[in-house]
C-alpha cells in the first residue's frame, strides 16, 4: 500500500503529464502527442509482463 507521500508524488507526475498533453494539443502537435501515448502504452504493457 503506498504512503500518502508516494500517492501524492504519483498524482503530481500524472498532473504534469496531463498538462504536457494539453499543451501539445493546444499547439497542434498531434504527432508528438501520439508518440507519447504509444510510448506510455508500450511501457505499461512491458510492466504488465513482469
Q: What is the pLDDT of residue 2?
A: 81
| Three-state SS letters, the chain | CCCHHHHHHHHHHHHHHHHHHHHHHHCCCHHHHHHHHHHHHHHHHHHHHC
pLDDT of 1 over the 80 cut: no
What is the residue-averaged pLDDT of the chain? 95
Residue 50's pLDDT is 72
- pTM confidence score: 0.78
What is d(CA 40, CA 11) in angstroms, rounded to the nearest whole number? 16
Q: How many residues does the chain have?
A: 50
* pLDDT tens for each residue of 22-36: 999 999 999 999 999
Specify whether the CB–CB gap between 33 and 21 falls below 8 A: yes
Q: Rounded to an integer, what distance in angstroms lies between the CA atom of residue 42 and that of residue 39?
A: 5
Average pLDDT of the segment spanning 4-9: 93
Amino acid at each position: 500500500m503506498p504512503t500518502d507521500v508516494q500517492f501524492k508524488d504519483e498524482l503530481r507526475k500524472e498532473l504534469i503529464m496531463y498538462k504536457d498533453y494539453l499543451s501539445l494539443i493546444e499547439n497542434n502537435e498531434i504527432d508528438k502527442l501520439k508518440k507519447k501515448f504509444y510510448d506510455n502504452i508500450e511501457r505499461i504493457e512491458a510492466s504488465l509482463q513482469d
